[in-house]
């Protein structure tokens, strides 16, 4: 009756109070030095991708610089609401100074399935093939995008470069597969290359559980609207309370995500990982596009990728189109301020130098068709320790392996004979895993104001660790001459565990002099130059997980991340060995379980670890050349 009554009685007519909001607001751009528009570009399967196009005012015959991203094109192109192009671009993922100085047309696109684009999101969408039955992938989407851009942006000169960091650095690698003819330059910066071997998901099989928050926010909604919540200010407590990465993921709803389910189904290096490793994919094709790979020496996220790709494609580089830069940066640091990282100072703004002396001439030469512009060196490598840039013809150049032996008396000795019977021993207790940095470990994040100094943890002072009884420490005598290494150190352990599985973490460390007059707080500083983890169950093969024989000395050999460092006279060389790196990596229960993601609390047991004195680190030693301005 009430409803009927409402229908019969006409609503009372009030005098209008018109809305003050126009039906459509046309934003003026008076005084702007650019124009910006968003378009939906249609891919070959009909899916439309949101693409932001920014054209500098007055641009003519200008090259296009493209970034494809899962991290929201709209926000990446509006770091400030400003009439000034450099102001809106400055920030993550854009070398804004170079882009503006070069007069580039800037294009940033949401990948399929994210933010403003249509379609389905698949993490690091594999190439069409065994892992992707559809005819579309990042290679085809980039091809179709470039084809549209060069035909629909009248101000362009028809030449396109693609640049990006991290995931946005993986996408330029995908663009190199069946590249569009207008693609004239690729700049993969700190790219994701092999998520299992050494980039974002695992390192030699140990799971990087600290990325759970990223996975959750990145894959469970199109616009990253579902947020990971903090239950503890100290991440160490949160992960300890959960027990295993699998349990925490369950508690946070991650099992609803297809990507999480794939991670759990593929804990080992099976075809799922091998078939999407970009270094393996690109190794099978010729190099046809000038490519500048960018590596950060303290990259906490993708420290494996750039050099892995360089090694894979350089043999196919008949026209010397491949370049490599190694800078003293954290992840993405090449676009920031590069005069220091944490407590470590480099004497100049290394990132600004690289952008002006390497990135800009590379882009100008290939995108402006300015073949007169000087080509950049094959390799531009910052040498930490001496704080000098080195221009090299190849990487790592003429290094030779010299053994740094883990000897008796907690000594690290260059080249000494082995003492196979003796060992150092420690107890690895999963209830007290070694923190990867001093606690409290604020939730994963970049906000220094919140103490979230994720970007600089790799240069933390390692004294906290070396003082622990569950960290075996070996240190050389004070050096009387410089020791230079260029390349990847290789850990060769002979070790036993009383358990039936174990993780081995090896860290190569530069120990500063006991006193540093010019900077007293650096006295005795222990700076990690290279370090990584290896999950023992894969010692017979990354695709062959097996229990370890308890209390039996077994050999382990695995690469450590690329270094380009001089241990100066007065310094010492240190090696630390431990069996947890928490909560960066999930704990190894140290007893065999089929899948550690599903380990139960009772599986986690203490283990007695022995590092035998026939263990050593292969150091890629280089004869020191006296520095002269000419070698810059």
Q: Which of 32, 214, 228, 236 binds ligand PG9 (CB under 6 A)?
A: 214
Contact between 344 and 329 under an 8 Å Cβ cutoff? The reply is no
Residue 392, number of CB atoms within 10 A of its CB? 18
Q: How far is CA 97 from the centre of its chain?
A: 23
Of the residues 33, 42, 128, 211, which one makes contact with ligand PG9 according to CB under 6 A: 211
Q: Is 200 in the site for ligand PG9 (CB under 6 A)?
A: yes
- Report which residue's Cβ sits closest to ligand PG9: 166
- Write each residue from 154 to 173 as x if it is in contact with ligand PG9 (CB under 6 A), else as -, in one continuous string: ------------xx------
Number of residues that bind ligand PG9 (CB under 6 A): 8
SS3 of 34, please? Answer: strand
Q: Smallest Cα–Cα separation from 524: which of 512, 535, 516, 532? A: 512
Nearer to ligand PG9, 200 or 532 (CB): 200
Q: Which is nearer to ligand PG9, 301 or 460 (CB)?
A: 301
Q: Minimum distance between the CB of residue 69 and ligand PG9, rounded to whole angstroms?
A: 9
Q: Least CB distance from residue 144 to ligand PG9, whole Å?
A: 23
> Minimum CB separation from ligand PG9 for residue 455, in Å?
11
Could you tell me which residues come within 8 angstroms of residue 549 by beta carbon, excluding any fewer than 6 positions away? 500
Task: Please tell me whether residue 192 binds ligand PG9 under the rule CB under 6 A.
Answer: yes
Closer Cβ to ligand PG9, 437 or 572, answer by number: 437
Pairing, β 340-341 against β 322-327: unpaired
CB-wise, 110 or 200, nearer to ligand PG9? 200
Rounded to a whole number of angstroms, the minimum distance from the CB of residue 444 to ligand PG9 is 8
Determine, following the binding rule CB under 6 A, whether residue 94 of this chain makes contact with ligand PG9. no
What strand order describes the sheet that includes 322-327?
34-42, 48-56, 105-110, 62-69, 156-165, 183-189, 291-296, 322-327, 379-383, 388-392
Alpha-carbon distances of 582 from 130, 234, 440, 465, rounded to whole Å? 35, 12, 12, 12
At 28, is the secondary structure helix, strand, or coil?
Answer: coil
CB of 192 to ligand PG9, least distance (A): 5
The length of the chain, given as a count of residues: 632
The per-residue DSSP string of 353-419 comes to HHIIIIIHHHHHHHHS--TTSPPPPSEEEEEBTTTEEEEESSSS-S-EEEEEEEEGGGEEEETPPPE
Per-residue binding string, ligand PG9, 583-602, x by CB under 6 A, is --------------------
- Rounded to whole angstroms, the Cα distance separating 248 from 84 reads 44
Contacts with ligand PG9 in 293-332 (CB under 6 A)? 301-302
110 sits near ligand PG9 (criterion: CB under 6 A): no
Pick between residue 32 and residue 444 the one whose CB is nearest to ligand PG9: 444
Those residues with Cβ within 8 angstroms of residue 242's Cβ, 6 or more apart along the chain or in another chain: 248, 251
Q: How far is the CB of 308 from ligand PG9 (least distance, A)?
A: 14
272 binds ligand PG9 (CB under 6 A): no
Phi, psi for 415 (deg, rounded to 5): 75, 0
- 166 or 291: CB nearest ligand PG9: 166
Instruction: For ligand PG9, give the closer residue by CB, 83 or 211.
Output: 211
Q: Which is nearer to ligand PG9, 302 or 510 (CB)?
A: 302
Binding residues for ligand PG9, rule: CB under 6 A, are: 166-167, 192, 200, 211, 214, 301-302
């Amino acid at each position: 009756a009430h409803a009927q009554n409402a229908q019969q009685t006409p609503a009372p007519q009030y005098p209008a109070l018109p809305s003050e909001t126009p039906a459509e607001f046309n934003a003026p751009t008076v005084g702007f030095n650019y124009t910006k528009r968003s378009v939906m570009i249609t891919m070959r399967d009909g899916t439309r991708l949101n693409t932001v196009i920014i054209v500098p005012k007055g641009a003519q015959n200008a090259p296009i610089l493209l970034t494809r991203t899962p991290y929201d094109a709209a926000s990446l192109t509006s770091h400030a609401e400003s009439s000034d192009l450099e102001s809106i671009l400055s920030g993550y993922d854009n070398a804004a100074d170079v882009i503006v100085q070069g007069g580039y047309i800037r294009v940033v696109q949401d990948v399929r399935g994210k933010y403003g684009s249509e379609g389905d999101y698949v993490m690091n969408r594999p190439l069409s093939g065994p892992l992707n039955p559809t005819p579309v992938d990042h290679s085809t989407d980039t091809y179709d995008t470039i084809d549209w851009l060069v035909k629909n942006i009248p101000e362009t000169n028809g030449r396109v470069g693609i640049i990006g960091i991290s995931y946005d650095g993986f996408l330029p690698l995908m663009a190199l597969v069946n590249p569009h003819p207008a693609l004239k330059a690729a700049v993969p910066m700190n790219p994701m290359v092999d998520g299992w071997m050494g980039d974002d998901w695992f390192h030699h099989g140990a799971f990087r559980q600290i990325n759970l928050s990223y996975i959750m926010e990145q894959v469970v909604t199109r616009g990253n609207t579902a947020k990971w919540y903090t239950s503890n200010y100290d991440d160490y407590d949160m992960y300890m309370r959960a027990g295993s990465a699998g349990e925490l993921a369950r508690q946070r709803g991650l099992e609803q995500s297809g990507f999480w389910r794939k991670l759990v189904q593929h804990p080992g290096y099976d075809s799922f990982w091998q078939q999407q490793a970009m270094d393996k994919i690109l190794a099978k094709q010729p190099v046809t596009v000038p490519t500048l790979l960018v590596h950060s020496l303290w990259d906490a996220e993708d420290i494996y990728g750039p050099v892995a790709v360089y090694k894979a494609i350089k043999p196919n580089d008949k026209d010397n189109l491949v370049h490599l830069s190694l800078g003293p940066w954290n992840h993405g640091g090449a676009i920031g301020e590069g005069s220091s990282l944490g407590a470590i100072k480099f004497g100049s703004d290394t990132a600004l130098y690289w952008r002006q002396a390497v990135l800009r001439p590379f882009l100008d030469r290939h995108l402006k068709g300015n073949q007169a512009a000087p080509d950049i060196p094959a390799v531009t490598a910052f040498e930490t320790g001496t704080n000098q840039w080195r221009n090299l013809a190849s990487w790592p150049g003429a290094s030779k392996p010299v053994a740094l032996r883990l000897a008796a008396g907690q000594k690290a000795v260059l080249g000494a004979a082995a003492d196979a019977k003796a060992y150092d021993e420690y107890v690895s207790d999963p209830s007290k895993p070694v923190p990867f940095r001093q606690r409290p470990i604020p939730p994963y994040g970049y906000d220094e104001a919140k103490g979230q100094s994720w970007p600089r943890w790799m240069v933390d002072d390692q004294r906290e660790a070396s003082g622990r009884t569950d960290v075996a420490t070996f240190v050389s005598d004070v050096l009387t001459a410089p020791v230079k290494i260029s390349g990847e150190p290789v850990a060769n352990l002979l070790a036993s565990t009383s358990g039936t599985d174990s993780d081995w973490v090896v860290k190569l460390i530069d120990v500063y002099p006991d006193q540093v007059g010019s900077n007293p707080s650096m006295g005795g500083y222990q700076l990690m130059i290279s370090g990584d983890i290896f999950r023992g169950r894969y010692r017979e093969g990354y695709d062959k997980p097996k229990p370890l024989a308890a209390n039996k000395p077994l050999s382990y050999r695995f690469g450590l991340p690329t270094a380009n460092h001089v241990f100066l006279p007065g310094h010492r060389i240190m090696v630390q060995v431990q069996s947890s790196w928490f909560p960066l990596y999930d704990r190894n229960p140290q007893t065999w379980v089929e899948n550690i993601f599903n380990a139960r609390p009772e599986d986690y047991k203490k283990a007695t670890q022995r590092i035998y004195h026939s263990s050593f680190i292969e150091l890629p030693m280089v004869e020191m050349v006296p520095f002269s301005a000419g070698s810059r």
